[in-house]
Amino acid sequence: MRKIHIQRGDLLLSQPFMLDGNFRRSVVYLTELNLEGAIGFIINRPMDIDIDQLIPDFPEFSVPAYFGGPVSTDTIHYVHRVGELLEDSMQVTKDLYWGGNFEQLKALINQKIITEADIRFYVGYSGWTAGQLEAEIKMGSWLKGEMDQNYIFNTESGDLWKKVVAEKGDVYNVIANISGKDLLN
């Protein structure tokens, strides 16, 4: 088996036959990877609630919250492309940032400087302890995908796993086009 090198900013694609309901057909954007572990957010699981309905005193901002993962589902995180405007943002890749000053974020939304085209909110996160993600990759639970910020901001969430898996080519193109129901039978 070929060793897969992952780094912060990569996508993790659940392997096509994963049955874990938290991660089945999920696309995870990896925002942190170090000796202590890894953190990322499932970017293709919109919830049926807008972010301004989840957070008291949040500005009117009708964008869906996404299920970021099964860890700490009582927390809100955000990935955005306005890091230069939002203090304390952590740059993940050239044009994408994670987090930042929350009070400043609310003010910039109120001023309409940050719009729904600039940011995505996640309830909870996906996390792995030291060595856990590497072990899961070695077992074949995850595939590596190449990140494009359009996957977060301009791609229909329901089609994202299929799209990114198909882009891997070869046998993955075939697997991506099998319905999830067919995989379970």
Give domain limits for the chain. Answer: 11-184
Contacts of 135 (CB under 8 A, 6+ apart): none
The secondary structure of residue 147, as a DSSP letter, is -
pLDDT of residue 1: 47
In the chain, where does DSSP find H-type helix? 51-54, 102-110, 132-138, 150-153, 157-166, 170-176, 180-184
DSSP secondary structure letters along 105-123: HHHHHHTTSS-TTTEEEEE
pLDDT tens, the chain, 185 aa long = 456 789 999 999 999 888 888 999 999 999 999 999 999 999 999 999 999 999 999 999 999 999 999 999 999 999 999 998 999 999 999 999 999 999 999 999 999 999 999 999 999 999 999 999 999 999 989 999 999 999 999 988 888 999 999 998 888 778 788 765 544 44
pLDDT of residue 174: 81
CATH architecture of 11-184: 3-Layer(aba) Sandwich (3.40)
| Beta-strand relationship, 64-67 and 119-129 | parallel
Under 8 Å between Cβ of 81 and 97:
yes
pLDDT of residue 185: 45
Instruction: Determine the Cα–Cα distance for residues 66 and 122; give it in Å rounded to an integer.
Output: 5
Instruction: Determine the Cα–Cα distance for residues 133 and 147; give it in Å rounded to an integer.
Output: 18
Under 8 Å between Cβ of 101 and 107:
no
pLDDT of residue 176: 84
Whole-prediction pTM: 0.92
